[in-house]
Structure 1
Amino acid sequence: MLNKVALITGSSTGLGKRTALELARLGIDVVINYRTNRDAALQFARELEREYPVRALAVQADVSDPADCRSLVGQVLEVFGRLDILVNNAGPYIPERKRMAEYELDEWNAMINGNLTSVFYLSKLVIPHMRENGWGRILNFGFDRADTAPAWMFRSAFAAAKVGLVSLTRTMALEEAEYGITVNMVCPGDIIGEWKEANIEDASSAGDHSTPVGRVGTGEDIARTIAFFCAEASGFITGTVIAVTGGKDVLTKYRYEAESSKPVW
């Protein structure tokens, strides 16, 4: 029996890399998509093939470019002959705190295209093949409480794109349910730096008083959630938006000083 095939965008590093590792561990062939980090992607693909009974392919593509998306999906189908799982992990983010009125047009377009329109490009390309097989899993990434359309100061473009993606996720879920395709969203918490590729065990001794569960979040927390949605037995779950935050409110970027009720940004 052939392995299922998963395309994880932006997976040479970070959460995408940890997700690819988890899926490979479960016996799923993986496509490592990268934009610029060629050496890391190729090395990671070789490591996965050595460690697990899977095939791993590294493919360069900018998922905000429709031509690159066509090339990416075409290469996957040429090599594997199928594409069962799409994980839309890649998405630009501007760490600088900027008010909406301060965004340049190219910055705004990059946020919308990279985080929302790219999902349209790739989903449009892969859904026909999933329909033909009568099975598919599409996973999108959001942010905490994106399904409530919250205000997120200084993150207007990113937030607008991801909130739009919530509606797109749920719409695709309804439209594709009859074909055995599920579409869900995972909303990571405040997982930063080296923790994006870390295991849960690594975090067991790393306390975090700002997170109700008492530890930092890891890439494995996200990867295990994605793996759950990808399972054969998870076919009844679609249109779901799930927060993986440890209970932490990641949108609130101000704190109250002990001596004052004035918020400090």
Structure 2
Amino acid sequence: MPENGPDANPVDKHPRPEFDQQEQRHPGWTGPMDPPPDHGEDTYVGSGVLTGRKTVITGGDSGIGRAVALAYAREGADVLLTHLPEERDEARETVSLVEEAGRTGIAVECDIRYEEACRGLVERAVGEFGGIDVLVNNAAYQMSQPDGIAAITTEQFDRVVRTNLYGMFWLSKLALPHMRAGASIINTTSVQGYKPSPHLLDYAMTKGAITTFTQGLAQMLAGDGIRVNAVAPGPVWTPLIPATMPDTTEFGKQSPLGRPAQPAEMAPAYVFLASPQASYITGEIVNATGGTPLP
């Protein structure tokens, strides 16, 4: 049984492989997962560091996005999150967590592969909140192809690039006129951007680009007082895993801690980067890899 108290050994704090083999169709759902992902429902305690902030989180229905939405709400922020049509019920659960924390939660169906959808999302956020203080570009698509580059179709490549890069680019560009000094953009990159797994070639490529985008945009916006940072997770136990990976039994075993992260373990990094305590931090990548060394 994992130990989840404040003094828990991080090696044993959450479930370790081997897991049961699990398969879902994309985009995947939280309910069928075994063990169930931990988003911090019973553990995250806020301290008001984001009180009154207006936040937008793409891919906020489940996984890392849900954990960030929960943490932001418990820190005092209002949250608008995106989801795909198939994720409507998942998004509703996340909104409930936000509302239980006493904050406004809004779920918006949005496929960020399309510029007009991104424009509509920003307009909705500005209409609801009056502006945007924190934009979390978290939504992503991957699909494992163990047979290599020959198996990556143009359709898959296009979906990976448009979701992971185009959406982030458009949303950042469109949101900036509605952000003021003190606001921040936080992107989700990955250990894959530094140490690509061959079966995730196209996904890893986009994660490397997100790192470059983060560092370049941070320099561009520094004089405006808008910070841009990213989080680079290692393996994280989210619905994307059974929906896109052929083998879930040993997922995360390769990390030095010997297990995947739970989404709740990623959220504090996003809280810190959005908070006033990180006022001198921009252009940085927070690596949360379970011990895998990165450059």
On whether the aligned pair clears a TM of 0.5, the verdict is yes
Report the CA distance between 1:67 and its aligned residue.
0.8
Report the CA distance between 1:44 and its aligned residue.
2.6
- Residue 92 of structure 2 aligns with an amino acid whose one-letter code is L
Report the CA distance between 1:96 and its aligned residue.
3.4
> What residue number does 2:190 align with?
143
Looking at structure 1, the residues matched to 121 and 204 of structure 2 have their Cα atoms a distance apart, in angstroms, of: 27
> What residue number does 2:95 align with?
45
Identity between Structure 1 and Structure 2 (%) = 29
Q: In structure 2, which of residues 54, 58, 73 is the aligned counterpart of residue 24 of structure 1? A: 73
Q: Secondary structure at the match of 1:94?
A: coil
C-alpha contact (below 8 Å) 1:190/1:245 kept by paired residues: yes
C-alpha contact (below 8 Å) 1:3/1:54 kept by paired residues: no
Q: Deviation string for 1:224-246 (max 9, x for gaps)?
A: 01101011121211111121011
Q: In structure 1, which of residues 149, 154, 158 is the aligned counterpart of residue 199 of structure 2? A: 154
Task: Provide the aligned length of Structure 1 versus Structure 2.
Answer: 234
Q: How does 1:76-87 map to 2 (within 5 A)?
A: 76-87=125-136
TM-score, normalising length: structure 2: 0.73
Is 1:117 the counterpart of 2:169? The answer is no
How has the CA–CA distance of structure 1 residues 214 and 109 changed in structure 2, closer, same or farther, with 3 Å as cutoff? closer
Looking at structure 2, the residues matched to 188 and 13 of structure 1 have their Cα atoms a distance apart, in angstroms, of: 15
C-alpha contact (below 8 Å) 1:195/1:217 kept by paired residues: no
Looking at structure 1, the residues matched to 286 and 149 of structure 2 have their Cα atoms a distance apart, in angstroms, of: 27
Report the CA distance between 1:46 and its aligned residue.
3.1
- Residue 117 of structure 1 aligns with an amino acid whose one-letter code is Y
Report the CA distance between 1:40 and its aligned residue.
2.5
Looking at structure 2, the residues matched to 138 and 72 of structure 1 have their Cα atoms a distance apart, in angstroms, of: 16
Report the CA distance between 1:92 and its aligned residue.
0.6
How has the CA–CA distance of structure 1 residues 158 and 245 changed in structure 2, closer, same or farther, with 3 Å as cutoff? same
> What residue number does 2:291 align with?
247
Q: Secondary structure at the match of 1:156?
A: helix
C-alpha contact (below 8 Å) 1:180/1:235 kept by paired residues: no
> What residue number does 1:89 align with?
138
Q: Deviation string for 1:158-206 (max 9, x for gaps)?
A: 111111111111110000011111111111111124799xxxxxxxxxx
Looking at structure 2, the residues matched to 112 and 215 of structure 1 have their Cα atoms a distance apart, in angstroms, of: 28
**Structure showing greater Rg:** 1
Gaps of 5+ in 1: 197-207, 251-265
C-alpha contact (below 8 Å) 1:34/1:58 kept by paired residues: yes
> What residue number does 2:3 align with?
none
> What residue number does 1:168 align with?
213
Q: Which has the higher contact order (CA 8 A, sep 6+)?
A: 2
C-alpha contact (below 8 Å) 1:31/1:59 kept by paired residues: yes
Q: In structure 2, which of residues 229, 235, 250 is the aligned counterpart of residue 184 of structure 1? A: 229
C-alpha contact (below 8 Å) 2:189/2:232 kept by paired residues: yes
C-alpha contact (below 8 Å) 1:195/1:219 kept by paired residues: no
How has the CA–CA distance of structure 1 residues 161 and 66 changed in structure 2, closer, same or farther, with 3 Å as cutoff? same
Looking at structure 2, the residues matched to 58 and 139 of structure 1 have their Cα atoms a distance apart, in angstroms, of: 19
C-alpha contact (below 8 Å) 1:187/1:244 kept by paired residues: yes
> What residue number does 1:261 align with?
none
TM-score, normalising length: structure 1: 0.81
Looking at structure 2, the residues matched to 13 and 193 of structure 1 have their Cα atoms a distance apart, in angstroms, of: 7
Superposition CA RMSD, Å: 2.3
> What residue number does 1:60 align with?
109
C-alpha contact (below 8 Å) 2:62/2:239 kept by paired residues: no
C-alpha contact (below 8 Å) 1:145/1:243 kept by paired residues: no
Looking at structure 2, the residues matched to 72 and 114 of structure 1 have their Cα atoms a distance apart, in angstroms, of: 15
